[in-house]
Amino acid sequence: MKFYLDTANLASIKKYNAMGLVDGITTNPSLIVKEGADFEETIKAIAKEVYPHPVSAEVIATDYDGMIREGLTLAAIAENVTVKVPLTWDGIRACRTLSQQGHKVNVTLCFDSNQALLAAKAGATFISPFIGRLDDIGYDGMEVLEDIRTVYDNYPSLKTEILAASMRTPLHVKRASMIGADVATMPAALIKSLTRHPLTDAGLASFLADWKKTGQTIA
């Protein structure tokens, strides 16, 4: 499963990219605003840092014409920019047009398998089901992810990758990888948390205590 970093913070992207943990980046208007930087320059810098990995940049328009106009502007920033559109009727139309023109498209705000099927038929490169937001309202986000995986596997002609989004816990990552999500996008803190386990901490403390008794050094 590929890991995408869900951020617009260039310093964080550089840090995790240097560790080999970044297969792509997802951004959204909220993340861009949080950084307080120029939108186009931010996307350009991120795209350069992770090239050739994809960087999802989202349109703001909600109508078809506006999405196409903004989508083409975003795609022109860098060749590894993926245009992100919402899963609305106009978004599906825009996905079809942009994908037919050779642009990668990430259809976001997906919450069920019927929506995912529509996006795939429209030529989406990625579909982004929001796991955590489904959990928030009492649904099982992973069940939806599993449904989408089943639908896509039933029809090999559908080439859309499943990009599990709104990931909040290590359990989300574990279950998404077991279900077979192609990509998981998550904040840096969640990626870092995947190293943690109480038995790892206890084992390391025990090893260090035993070594200290020897009075030796390695270097």
Query: Catalytic site residues?
Result: 84
CATH of the domain at 115: 3.20.20.70
Query: What angle is formed at CA 195 by the lines to CA 191 and CA 197, rounded to 5 degrees?
Result: 130
DSSP code, position 165: B
Q: Is residue 207 part of a domain?
A: no
Average pLDDT over residues 36-51: 95
Question: Helices then strands (H, E): number in the chain?
Answer: 11, 8
Kindly report the average pLDDT of the chain as a whole number.
Answer: 97
Query: Residue 87: pLDDT above 90?
Result: yes
Respond yes or no on whether the N-terminal peptide bond of residue 52 is cis (omega within 30° of 0). Answer: yes
Q: Is residue 211 part of a domain?
A: no
pLDDT tens digits, 52-79:
999 999 999 999 999 999 999 999 999 9
How many domains does the chain fold into?
1
Query: Residue 29: pLDDT above 90?
Result: no
Q: pLDDT grade, residue 14 (50/70/90)?
A: very high
pLDDT tens digits, 172-181:
999 999 999 9
The pLDDT value given to residue 24: 98
Q: Is residue 200 part of a domain?
A: no
Average pLDDT over residues 15-20: 97
Q: Is residue 175 part of a domain?
A: yes
Better pLDDT: 33 or 83: 83
Q: pLDDT grade, residue 205 (50/70/90)?
A: very high
Query: Residue 212: pLDDT above 90?
Result: yes
Task: Give the DSSP per-residue string, 87-113.
Answer: SSHHHHHHHHHHHHTT--EEEEEE-SH
Q: Is residue 34 part of a domain?
A: yes
Q: Is residue 202 part of a domain?
A: no
What is d(CA 212, CA 215) in angstroms, rounded to the nearest whole number?
A: 6
Of 108, 111, 180, nearest to 140 by C-alpha is 111
Q: Is residue 115 part of a domain?
A: yes
Token look-up 């245009």 returns: 83
Give this prediction's pTM: 0.94
What is d(CA 42, CA 126) in angstroms, rounded to the nearest whole number?
A: 22
Query: Residue 219: pLDDT above 90?
Result: no
pLDDT tens digits, 109-140:
999 999 999 999 999 999 999 999 999 999 99
What is d(CA 144, CA 132) in angstroms, rounded to the nearest whole number?
A: 11
Query: What is the domain extent for residue 93?
Result: 2-194
* Adjacent-strand bridge partners of 86: 108
Q: Is residue 144 part of a domain?
A: yes
What is d(CA 45, CA 43) in angstroms, rounded to the nearest whole number?
A: 6
